[in-house]
Amino acid sequence: MSRIAPLSGFPELLPGQRIVEQRVLDRLAHTFELYGFSSIQTRAVEPMEQLLRKGETSKEVYVLRRLQADESDSGDSGLGLHFDLTVPLARYVLENAGRLQFPFRRYQIQPCWRGERPQEGRFREFWQADVDVVDRDDLSGHYEVELPLLIGDALRSLPIPRMRMHVNNRKLSQGFYRGLGIADPMAAIRAVDKLDKIGPRGVADLLAETTGADDAQVAACLALAEIHSEDESFVDRVRALGVSDPLLDEGLSELGAVVTAAAEDAPGLVVADLRIARGLDYYTGTVYETYMDGYANLGSVCSGGRYDDLASEGRNRFPGVGLSIGVSRILVPLLNEGRLAPTREVPTCVLVALPNEERRRDCDRIARALRSRGIAAEVAPAAQKYGKQIRFAERRGIPFVWFPGDAEGGDEVRDIRSGEQSAADGAKWSPPDADLRPRIA
């Protein structure tokens, strides 16, 4: 049989790595729930018109197709795998609006699929963790302040490098470009969003090509993109550029509120960075991009923003604000480098040693008694010498080996790390809390 080649862009973790990933997902869910967010899960597919109606995403969508389509079937079902969790949320809110309580605070942790070229930190299948607040008709601006603080708490709960969240406001950018006299502010936003990829010269050429901006307008756009600060001093620097517009004023006020609150409640987490644009068209207010110290090559690992019109139908309008954590983007590089590892490779806390095959049923009863009290236990696979069974446990990081008693004595349990061994009762014995489940080392 020929060797199976790995499929690029679809990471598969080893059991120990998966334990780390599960613990991270558990911690994220716990933090989200501390803030009062409820969990939902949406289907993996959405209608193509829903996936494509906002932003330039057509190249990223995997289309769902039946292999053996009949002659009357074009071969395209009109469905695609979701590339993020925001578009499915918009559809979910519209379908369930009559049964939801608003403001609707939801979190969602699911895989997504994106048909882009695989590279470091970018995958075609990946886990994402989203938090959003959606309201009916109008959404208070204080949620744009609350969400980055929530994300700061969530990320600080993880054993990962420090994160820095860069924030901007679409109203600020659009108002500035409009005040400059640029006819298509959204084209300017999309151009500036490519600054890290193509550099100032490339952005200057793109601005001239897509918006017709002259040299003075291009220089002002690039000057705005250079402004960043951890406090409200960015407001004066924007004013010094001499551009005025009511929408710009609104954006400056909203962004100032986010930066001020973060400086008070989570110093060092948030920085105003006016080059941040976010390429998707549906953002309308504050936008966020988060970078992990030492891993700038990964790009943003937690992004999002405010959207006022993504979820709307007729007279019904459901504005929202949300952030998406790229769980796979963060974890896979750290796991591959060995910077994250579990305290053991398996969930098992206790290996019940097997004296001989005739005693297997007795050993099964011991394991069952331990499991009934929430202690993960398994019976040794074969009745080998106890030394081999202990080495079996050591290789897997199982901390305790249970020795069934016989006519001469009762059961005993050994901590194979320290060598300490003592009498034990399967109906009463418990390990230390730190050993009950594998943790992130």
CA distance 9 to 115: 9
Q: Which residues contact 128 (CB under 8 A, 6 or more apart)?
A: 84, 85, 109, 110, 111, 112, 324, 325, 326, 327, 328
343 labeled binding residue: no
Q: Taking every pair of C-alpha atoms in the chain, what is the biggest distance, in angstroms?
A: 95
Q: Which residues contact 312 (CB under 8 A, 6 or more apart)?
A: 318
Give every strand in the sheet of 63-64, ordered side by side: 45-47, 79-81, 63-64
**Are residues 365 and 352 in contact, defined by beta-carbon separation less than 8 angstroms?**
no
307 labeled binding residue: no
CA distance 254 to 235: 11
119 labeled binding residue: no
**Are residues 366 and 411 in contact, defined by beta-carbon separation less than 8 angstroms?**
yes
Residue 227: what residue type?
I
283 labeled binding residue: yes
Spatial CA neighbour of 205 closest among 137, 427, 194: 194
Q: CA dist 213 to 122, 177, 206, 397, Å?
A: 33, 10, 9, 63
Quick one: tokens of 148? 């980055």
Q: Buried b / exposed e across 342-376, counting CB within 10 Å, b at 16+?
A: bebbbbbbbbbbbbeeebeebbeebbebbeeeebb
184 labeled binding residue: no
132 labeled binding residue: yes
E strand segments, 139-244: 163-169, 228-229
278 labeled binding residue: yes
Give every strand in the sheet of 377-379, ordered side by side: 377-379, 350-352, 400-403, 412-415, 421-423
Spatial CA neighbour of 120 closest among 295, 341, 279: 295
Taking the alpha carbons at both ends of the chain, their separation in whole angstroms is: 38
Residue 214: what residue type?
D
CA distance 126 to 89: 18
Spatial CA neighbour of 273 closest among 241, 249, 237: 237
DSSP string across 96-129: HGGGS-SSEEEEEEEEEE--S--BTTB-SEEEEE
| Binding-site positions | 84-86, 114, 128, 132, 278, 282-283
| Binding-site positions for L-histidine | 84-86, 114, 128, 132, 278, 282-283
